[in-house]
Structure 1
Amino acid sequence: MDEETRYEAVRSRDARFDGEFFFAVETTGIYCRPSCPAVTPKRKNVRYYTTAAAAQTSGFRACRRCRPDAVPGSADWNVRADVVGRAMRMIGDGVVDREGVPGLAVRLGYSARQVQRQLTAELGAGPVALARAQRAHTARVLLQTTDLPVTEIAFAAGFASVRQFNDTIKAVYALTPTALRAAAPRRGAARATPAAGIPLRLAHRGPYRADAVFDLLAHEAVTGVEEVSGERGARTYRRTLRLPYGTGIVAVQEAHHDATTGPGTGSATEAVHRGGWLDARLHLTDLRDLTTAVQRLRRLFDLDADPYAVDERLGADPRLAPLVAARPGLRSPGTADPDEFAMRALVGRAGAERLVERYGKLLDAPCGGLTHTFPAPAELAAEQGAPGALAAALADGSLRLDAGADRDDAEAALRALPGVDARTAAVIRMRALGDPDVAVPGGPEPVLDAWRPWRSYALRHLALAGS
């Protein structure tokens, strides 16, 4: 996009570009999302940034009105398989917070200096700045939705010290942590306590076909780990999470919330221009897992997708056009746990339930039908045959399915394992690795190159049309 196109998006307050770029106003020192409702600034005073971190690094603070730190992520990071795309996915998963820049570099196979140089050259911010922006957003969520002490929030958000936390919050929001908490929007409910869980709004851009996503999750649900309850259109998906520091339980509501009109009141056409969110509530045994848990939920529900780009490309094909028109905003769901999904793709639902019953970790406090977390690969390595071989490869690192894994390398490693055929490997690549452009062999219809880079979405349309 050139500056003329970006300014037109800002002038028209076009929500389609929220998260795709940010703009900052030199005269106010504030950066915003393109759809910010404030008065449009003069063109000569506007600067553009690819990431919120780049705007913050340049000295701009987040707009309190449009909250640019809360926008959906750019769909580019899911499409791209290069170092920058992989790095952005890993930073989102909290790798820098847990392992530092050296750990990120090792996972990417580059030196820390090379990673710093590539990210800064393209995004205007290095890995530390990108992780810092993410920590600031996590801290704001905790400050404004819970009554946790400020000191606990600082470390839960990933800051190394309370001083670093205070300095970052002041730089990003131009408020102290206490003042930022006091400025929280009131929605008629008291702030949550840790025992009640953390309420979240999982934002997405454009239309979102929640019914198709929840249908799939209900069909695949593994007893003890997942459950879907309620009537269609108002269902709740709940599952357990195995996270770096502990475990979690999440509940996500199917009901669509439009950013302008409220719950479920906007038509599909209206939603194209307004976007919205899914309500969720997250219970964690260790709050340091908040950032990672949110990013994994975003991948599961495919919330960072760009439905405008997907629908435009696929809708141009005569075969797909009526399907796209019938289901605007159809998503290609991922997974909350790539290792878990790989095992489930291999053994099937019944086999996965057997593994949970035999190896799964019992929750300290079972919640309804949720009783276990899915077993880690190391716990499944004792299995015989193909499941054991897959678990061993995941456990020893010869197969990596994390957020920043090289997708081609991962698929090749999968194909080398006994019992993993081309179709299973492709499904794992599509769901576990979140690849939006997978052609699964053996399907009912040929997958065309004209559908690139959104072949995974084309397959979803064809599957629903045939069901």
Structure 2
Amino acid sequence: MSEKCRTGPGAPGILGPMTTEDSRYEAVRSRDARFDGTFFFAVSTTGIYCRPSCPAVTPKRENVTFFATAAAAQSAGYRACRRCRPDAVPGSADWNARADVVGRAVRLIGDGVVDREGVAGLAARLGYSARQVQRQLNAELGAGPIALARAQRGHTARVLLQTTSLQAAEIAFAAGFASVRQFNETMREIYAATPTQLRSARGGSGRAGGLGPDGAAGVPLRLAYRGAYDSAQVFDYLAARTVEGVEEVVATDGGGRTFRRTLRLPHGAGVAEVAERGGAGRWLGCRLHLEDLRDLTTATQRMRRLFDLDADPYAVVERLSGDVELAPLVARRPGVRSPGAADPEELAVRTVLAEGLPAARARRAADALAAAYGRALAVPSGGLTLLFPRPGDLMDADLAAVDVPGERRAAVREVCRALVSGALRLDPGADRDEAERALLALPGVRPRTAGYVRMRALGDPDVLLDPRAAGAAGWRPWSSYATHHRWHARRTREPRVPLPTA
């Protein structure tokens, strides 16, 4: 089933919506990497599917079919191209921008919900029946939740085969397969190769896969992105907000930096490391140390959201360049991103705790909160010693160890109670409007705080934190990126064009 490649309601896609098969074919002919992850194409004469930038000879138009997702191409019987590895492209920015049930479902599937809770669990989180979710995903993506999760499991397994020395049975279990037989069959169907053949294609065996945040090798990954990526802006932003024992930014050989943080994951703890300087092929190097490899997919997606790696910088630049204030800023830094959150609940607690406090005091307060109520890592890793406290650890605590006004402590407890009770949901499939309303209903939470949580914890690309901004109406649906451009200009004192007086 071929699908129309589209963008979310009100959200212009890369250089405008790719709504016709002719325009998609032109992107394939020009091997345009800007559309990688936005759609896929399959070739009937070879039985394979590719990303638009595949370097292979362009197939004839009559032999090409287009799909919105890799899962849809796989469901139609096509195998992944071994040259362009279409399963390794950045995710479509559509799923970040869209707030409807399809966008929410895709984000939840990416976080591993179907593997952990099944389709029924996915549907329950979305507030729909399993049949309704199946129908909507099939209608728009050409694949249902099981097929989407299966494609993700296949990609996870390929990564483990080619980056670790784990046994096949361990990889099958870690990737979420029900059995080794299912694992073997799926890999043959998706890649037209056995697990052994995929492993032999990795080009070396020196990348053993150690587990645990104890200095072992971990699982090395390449986190792909599209377009320009201003890693200095992202790393500066995260470095200014690290919590002692939970996060750190360390210098590396050659003058770069590595961001490191602990992760609380569904099956255990982990440590993630992301290097500031990636490869020429548009990726950031990442290494994950996990207590339980079943958390690999979830940990990967959380780091992608933290570093905003599925963004559509082409659409952002196209829209914001039309603004008289932002145009010079965008021209100088086209790769500015809007960092998300590795742990949305943690981000909400830290934001509410910091409301109204000077930056230095807010940072000390977060450090004290983590030190007093966080859980110690079984084995420290460099400067990382703690997991940030869970909402359940804080909702009834007196928080006396934290030097903030009493109303801040009370607000943190209220937010934690709402998170524990389910009155406030911040998972990848949460309804953004409902989450913001739930936050604003809590005592001690102001609109700017709720907006900041919406922008980072829920990855909303269209949050305006300064309603007085002169050009705000023209920034939509990328107001979050406009906000970061203005923040960065303010921090670095970059020159700005004066605002019009009328």
**Structure 1 residues 447 and 223, CA gap change in structure 2 (3 angstroms):** farther
Contact kept? 1:233, 1:254, Cα under 8 Å: no
Q: Report the Cα offset of residue 461 of structure 1.
A: 0.5
Residues 207-226 of structure 1: CA distance to partner in whole angstroms, max 9, x if unpaired?
10000000011100000000
Contact kept? 2:165, 2:207, Cα under 8 Å: no
CA distance in 1, matches of 2:147, 2:467: 44
Which of the numbers 406, 419, 422 marks the counterpart of 2:431?
A: 406
2:486 is equivalent to residue 455 of structure 1: no
Runs of 4+ in 1 over 3 A off after TM superposition: 188-195
Residue identity in the other structure for 2:278: H
Contact kept? 1:334, 1:434, Cα under 8 Å: yes
2:268 is equivalent to residue 246 of structure 1: yes
Between 3-12 and 231-240, report the one with greater CA deviation.
231-240
**Structure 1 residues 161 and 189, CA gap change in structure 2 (3 angstroms):** closer
Match of 2:454 in 1: 429
CA distance in 2, matches of 1:177, 1:256: 28
* Alignment RMSD: 1.3
Match of 1:258 in 2: 280
Residues 135-174 of structure 1: CA distance to partner in whole angstroms, max 9, x if unpaired?
0000000000000010010010001111111111010001
Alignment of 1:52-91 (within 5 A): 52-91=70-109
Match of 1:161 in 2: 179
Contact kept? 2:209, 2:219, Cα under 8 Å: yes
**Structure 1 residues 234 and 334, CA gap change in structure 2 (3 angstroms):** same
| SS of the residue 1:436 aligns to | coil
Residue identity in the other structure for 1:356: A
CA distance in 2, matches of 1:407, 1:433: 7
Match of 2:259 in 1: 237
Residues 84-112 of structure 1: CA distance to partner in whole angstroms, max 9, x if unpaired?
00000000000000000000000000000
Structure 1 residue runs without a partner (length 5+): 260-275
Match of 2:380 in 1: 366
CA distance in 2, matches of 1:371, 1:147: 28
Contact kept? 1:210, 1:256, Cα under 8 Å: no
Match of 2:247 in 1: 226
Structure 2 residue runs without a partner (length 5+): 1-17, 355-362, 398-408, 492-502
| SS of the residue 2:334 aligns to | coil
Contact kept? 2:72, 2:141, Cα under 8 Å: yes
Residue identity in the other structure for 2:100: D
CA distance in 2, matches of 1:17, 1:256: 20
TM-score (norm 2): 0.88
TM-score (norm 1): 0.94
Between 188-197 and 13-22, report the one with greater CA deviation.
188-197
Which of the numbers 117, 126, 130 marks the counterpart of 1:99?
A: 117
2:220 is equivalent to residue 199 of structure 1: yes
CA distance in 1, matches of 2:296, 2:305: 14
Contact kept? 2:210, 2:289, Cα under 8 Å: no
CA distance in 1, matches of 2:278, 2:269: 27
Contact kept? 1:210, 1:254, Cα under 8 Å: yes
Residues 215-273 of structure 1: CA distance to partner in whole angstroms, max 9, x if unpaired?
011100000000001179600100000001101001110013211xxxxxxxxxxxxxx
Which of the numbers 137, 147, 152 marks the counterpart of 1:129?
A: 147
Residues 48-80 of structure 1: CA distance to partner in whole angstroms, max 9, x if unpaired?
000000000000000001000000000000000
CA distance in 1, matches of 2:188, 2:373: 47
Contact kept? 1:208, 1:330, Cα under 8 Å: yes
Q: Report the Cα offset of residue 350 of structure 1.
A: 2.1
Between 421-430 and 383-392, report the one with greater CA deviation.
383-392
Aligned-pair identity (%): 66
Q: Report the Cα offset of residue 353 of structure 1.
A: 1.3
Match of 2:291 in 1: 285
| SS of the residue 1:296 aligns to | helix
CA distance in 1, matches of 2:490, 2:289: 38
Contact kept? 1:423, 1:442, Cα under 8 Å: no
Residues 173-209 of structure 1: CA distance to partner in whole angstroms, max 9, x if unpaired?
01111111111244x9444433310001000011100
Match of 2:229 in 1: 208
